[in-house]
Structure formats: structure tokens, C-alpha cells
């Protein structure tokens, strides 16, 4: 398992990609569920050749491993740099030991919870995206005394994310419970639990280490059209 490449290798393993290019100098894939264009190459000249040959400018959401190629996409092809993130991967087959406090439970969320999610989730502007995640049964909420205190879900390309804990319910270990629950769900499905953490999100990086996830040494860069 290559931690640096888990966001590309796991969709390949599960059969969710169209392989655009694969060679000694890297690979380029189209992740079919999310429509993300994923690039792991260092040869800038060869990348430009492939990019233009196959008219790859049509892809709007991009995950790239090379800072040089990120800069080419921004300066030459006018893509917008969004953020950099570390890969965090749970490499063990052992489930997380979770103990729920009294009156606390985790269960699937439904469309009736969408107004709450929109209120607290930082990237809630794409309502259709959230609706599709709920429809797949891939969004869970943590409830304390029947009050929704936080939530977590699975992004289209298969990574854990959408983790939020509501003000007033923080510092209770609920982030740990939510992600631990989702890690166990991934293990049950035969999937590799992984997430992508924005480089300056120190609380989330700390949580990944506490849960036993291993962090990549290098950053991945996300861009959009």
C-alpha cells in the first residue's frame, strides 16, 4: 500500500477509474464516481503532451501530486488552485474500539437533516452533492439525547470526510467516535479507510494520528475549473 497514492490506488483497486495514461513516469486516471481527474507524474513536458493530445482540459476537478504540474495547470491552463492536503490512511485490519457514552448513538442521516448539514458544513454550497451522499446512505450523524451533534460521510471518490462537530458538543471525543465508526464501516466493506486533510488543519491532523492513521510525507493539490 502506497500512502502517498492511496487516493488513486484505492479507486483503481475497486474498479472505479478510466485509465488515461500509465507508464514508467506515472499515471493519469479519471475517477468515475466523482469525475475527478487524478495525476501522478513528474515529467512536465510529457504531461503537457498527453494533456493536449487527449483534450484533458475538459475536466473541472483535479487532484495532482506534483507541485510543478499544479503550477502548469494554473499558469498555462488557467485552473484555480484550491488547497493542499495530506493523505491519511488506516493500514490496520483491526477495528477501532469504540465506547459510546450514555444517550449517544450514530445512525444514518436522511434528507430531513439537510438544513442542519447545510448550516454547519463548511462546503455546503453543492446541495445536490450532499443529497446524493445521503441517498447512498453514506452520511451518518452522532446524536446526543436525540440532538444531532455532528456528522461524517464518504466523498464520491471514496475518501472519508464531511466531518463536523457542532459548537457546544466539541471536546467530548465525538470526532473520534464518528471517524472511528466510519473506519470500522470501511473495514466491513473491504475498503481501505483513508481521508485527505488540508495541510493547515492541525486539529484534524491530530485526530488522524490519535486514531492510528498514517500520514503521507508529501502533499496532494486540488484544483478546479
pLDDT of residue 121: 84
Q: What is the DSSP string of 47-107?
A: HHHHHHHTTGGG--EEEES-HHHHHHHHHTT--EEEEEEEEEE---SSPP---PPTTEEEE
pLDDT of residue 124: 59
**pLDDT tens across 152-167, in order?**
999 999 999 999 999 9
Cα–Cα dist 59/204, whole Å = 29
Could you tell me the pTM of the whole model?
A: 0.94
The structural domains of the chain, ordered by start, are 3-89 (no CATH), 104-191 (3.40.630.30)
**pLDDT tens across 79-126, in order?**
999 999 999 999 999 999 999 999 999 999 999 999 888 888 876 567
Q: Is the pLDDT of residue 62 over 80?
A: yes
C-alpha cell at 53: 493530445
| Core vs surface per residue 145-177: b (16+ CB within 10 A) or e | eeebbbbbbbbbbbbbbbbbbbeebeebbbbeb
- Length of the chain equals 225
**pLDDT tens across 2-60, in order?**
999 999 999 999 999 999 999 999 999 999 999 999 999 999 999 999 999 999 999 99
Average pLDDT along the chain: 94
pLDDT of residue 125: 63
Contacts of 129 (CB under 8 A, 6+ apart): 156
pLDDT band at 129, cuts 50/70/90? Answer: confident
Instruction: Reduce the DSSP state of residue 129 to 3 states and report it.
Output: helix
Backbone angles phi, psi at 142, to 5 degrees: -100, 125
What does the pLDDT average to over 130-141?
95
Q: Is the pLDDT of residue 189 over 90?
A: yes
Amino acid at each position: 500500500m502506497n500512502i502517498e497514492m492511496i487516493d488513486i490506488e484505492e479507486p483503481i483497486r475497486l474498479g472505479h477509474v478510466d485509465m488515461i495514461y500509465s507508464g514508467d513516469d506515472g499515471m493519469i486516471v479519471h475517477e468515475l464516481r466523482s469525475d475527478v481527474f487524478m495525476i501522478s507524474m513528474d515529467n512536465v513536458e510529457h504531461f503537457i503532451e498527453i494533456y493536449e493530445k487527449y483534450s484533458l482540459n475538459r475536466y473541472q476537478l483535479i487532484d495532482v501530486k506534483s507541485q510543478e504540474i499544479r503550477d502548469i495547470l494554473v499558469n498555462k491552463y488557467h485552473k484555480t488552485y484550491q488547497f493542499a492536503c495530506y493523505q491519511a490512511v488506516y493500514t490496520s485490519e483491526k477495528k477501532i474500539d469504540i465506547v459510546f457514552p450514555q444517550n449517544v448513538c450514530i445512525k444514518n442521516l436522511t434528507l430531513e437533516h439537510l438544513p442542519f448539514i447545510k448550516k454547519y458544513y463548511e462546503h455546503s454550497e453543492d446541495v445536490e452533492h450532499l443529497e446524493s451522499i445521503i441517498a447512498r446512505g453514506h452520511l451518518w450523524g452522532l446524536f446526543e439525547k436525540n440532538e444531532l451533534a455532528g456528522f461524517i460521510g464518504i466523498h464520491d471518490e471514496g475518501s472519508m470526510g464531511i466531518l463536523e462537530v457542532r459548537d457546544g458538543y466539541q471536546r467530548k471525543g465525538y470526532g473520534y467516535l464518528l471517524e472511528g465508526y466510519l473506519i470500522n464501516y470501511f473495514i466491513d466493506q473491504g475498503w481501505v479507510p483513508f481521508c485527505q486533510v488540508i495541510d493547515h488543519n492541525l486539529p484534524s491532523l491530530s485526530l488522524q494520528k490519535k486514531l492510528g492513521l498514517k500520514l503521507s510525507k508529501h502533499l496532494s493539490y486540488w484544483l478546479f475549473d
